[in-house]
A and B are shown apart, each in its own frame.
Chain A
């Protein structure tokens, strides 16, 4: 039987379509549409509120489409003291943190495949074991305090630099690369580091992309470390600032009135910032990078599930 005939035959074999089956089919579409709506609508709702008249928005009048569209919220939000700094910190930790995590994962993943490495298995086990235990928040916090990593930018980076699961992913990938490549380079006189940079890194790029995207998302979303380690406002991240805006609406009000004191009075109701408009605008600003990279990393999902399962 040729492939096409097989396909035709397969098409002919169908379920007996009973009334019950059809009902289930319709129900499935309805339920999944609802679920998708519930997941997507809140994002849309916040977006249309940020570009509509702030007055209407604050009174809860913007529900399905934008009204009196304007984009001043996005310009004004930059004027709020501290927000630009928070954005810089968030971008900084995402870029630096991801670069370091990826480099470490690639390098250690490669080194743990080097049979010459002194006590290779011992070190590998030492690193891998850290996936399974955790000293708890307070001992960790005290350690960070003793190391001077509270109120320190490196407190965001160093504790997550060595990620055992990423290392295992890279190690597995390096192991699947033909050993002959390394052997040939070795005969040509290349050293350990030379092999890493000129042979391993170019070959394992796909897995590095996976690791990079997942650690970038984790860095961008991180909240707990700021909460625990940072009291210096200069080091607040966007996530933390947004959290504060929601919990301390009064202090936010003070920030707004100080920053928009020189706004023209004629447009004040529709365009003047309200706590609602600021909160929603910042939410969109924080969520946008995730939505932008989302299509690119969808294809890494299955690998990511393994990362996610381990990182919890």
Chain B
């Protein structure tokens, strides 16, 4: 009787497995199978021919990556951009935290709500829309140039979007415009979790507002900040490509191309599928090393990892 029962249970479990098989297949096909595509880095791949018709070239593409001076120069340029943009992001990563801390100090609730609502909205529009907005505001007839001209601050329209000047900082600004309000929400949640008693006690002891912020609020949300910095570090080479893709043009290309965008441009623009796969493998390896290193560092400093 017992055996029969367990068999029935097994049969049911297997039936349930059949229910989820289609979805498991989707996962295999779209997440695991592409990993197999890494072999393209070892072939001279020219679509649409199947892999069996391609020549195996071993590590040729990894050598090409640093093979001649032009490539080295290009790779160095791309790495410089990637490091600069990630570096600026990391350097200013405290901004959303401070944004949240002082927003929390505002006593007028309606004002606070409006600020929060308005500053969070840009997070939900795509980079294409952000670019469209940037274009509308900063092109030669846009509001910034119009006001600048009518006030006599500038003689002729400034080509904000075309010029490669300060492009790293501009990219950080757009990223902040889009994300700061959203990123602050996490800190606002952390701040609301601080024990009221602590703040009361500080007030009773005669702490000023800045002192309360400095000695209570900030230390309480520092762990959250720390985890985010670690994640930032681990993703140092992955800035994503969408933002830089929409903002790139012939003039700023040299200083805007980050690793992710370079991989795309190389493959889609020049058909260098194999070379670009080789570069993205190289990137993945460095990223894994970074992730492990930051996790180790986190363990050393805080006594716990974050993965």
Contacts and interface: CB of A to CB of B under 8 A. Distances in A.
Interface of A: 10, 13-16, 18, 20-21, 24-25, 28-29, 31-33, 35-36, 38-40, 42-43, 45-46, 49, 58-61, 63, 104, 107-108, 111, 114, 116-119, 123, 126-127, 130, 133, 135-143, 145, 147, 158-159, 161-162, 192-193, 217, 220-224, 227-228, 239-240, 242-243, 246, 276, 279-280, 283, 286-287, 290-291, 294, 298, 301-302, 305, 308, 312
Contacts of B260: 137
B111 A280 contact: no
B105 A305 contact: no
Given A63-B147, A140-B37, A294 B106 contact: no
Contacts of B132: 242, 246, 279, 283
A24 to B, nearest CB: 7
A127 B119 CA distance: 34
A104 B3 CA distance: 34
Interface in B1-55: 9-10, 12-17, 19-20, 23-24, 26-27, 29-38, 40, 47-48
B110 to A, nearest CB: 12
B115 A135 contact: no
B206 to A, nearest CB: 6
B19 A45 contact: no
Given A32-B115, A139-B36, 8 more contacts: A32-B102, A123-B17, A130-B32, A133-B31, A133-B35, A135-B34, A137-B264, A294-B124
Contact of B136 (A45, A142, A294): A45
A143 B117 contact: no
Contacts of A227: 245
Contacts of A24: 209-210
Contacts, number: 239
A39 B181 contact: yes
A32 B103 contact: yes
Contacts of B40: 138-139, 142
A86 B84 CA distance: 37
Nearest to A306: B186
Contacts of A43: 121, 133
Most chain B Cβ neighbours within 10 Å, of A28, A142, A227, A301:
A142
Given A49-B136, A137-B264, A290-B124, A117 B30 contact: no
B277 interface: yes
Nearest to B201: A13
A162 B26 contact: yes
B236 interface: no
Contacts of A108: 20, 23
B197 to A, nearest CB: 11
A220 to B, nearest CB: 8
Task: Determine chain A's interface SS by DSSP, over half rule.
Answer: helix
A123 B24 contact: yes
Interface of B: 9-10, 12-17, 19-20, 23-24, 26-27, 29-38, 40, 47-48, 99, 102-103, 105-106, 111, 114-115, 117-122, 124-129, 131-133, 135-137, 140-143, 145-147, 177, 180-182, 185-186, 189, 200, 203-204, 206-210, 212, 235, 240-242, 245-246, 260, 263-264, 267-268, 273, 276-277, 280-281, 283-284
Contacts of B16: 111, 114, 116-118, 192
B141 A192 contact: no
B30 A298 contact: no
9 contacts: A39-B119, A40-B118, A42-B136, A46-B136, A104-B23, A136-B37, A138-B37, A138-B267, A242-B129
Given A136-B277, A279-B135, A35 B119 contact: yes
A42 B29 contact: no
A158 B121 CA distance: 28
Contacts of A38: 177
Contacts of A143: 29-30, 33-34, 37
B31 A130 contact: yes
A239 B246 CA distance: 11
Contacts of A13: 200, 203-204
Given A116-B12, A192-B19, A279-B136, A36 B131 contact: no
Contacts of B120: 298, 301
Given A32-B103, A139-B36, A116 B9 contact: yes
B135 A239 contact: no
A228 B9 CA distance: 46
A32 B37 contact: no
A45 B134 CA distance: 11
Contact of B207 (A15, A20, A114, A193): A15
Contacts of A130: 27, 31-32
Contacts of A294: 121, 124
Contact of A276 (B10, B17, B124, B141): B141
Contacts of B137: 42, 45
A158 B30 contact: yes
B131 A246 contact: yes
A288 to B, nearest CB: 11
Given A15-B209, A36-B115, A143-B33, A127 B105 contact: no
A224 B246 CA distance: 10
B225 to A, nearest CB: 14
A32 B189 CA distance: 19
Given A49-B136, A116-B9, A294-B121, A60 B36 contact: no
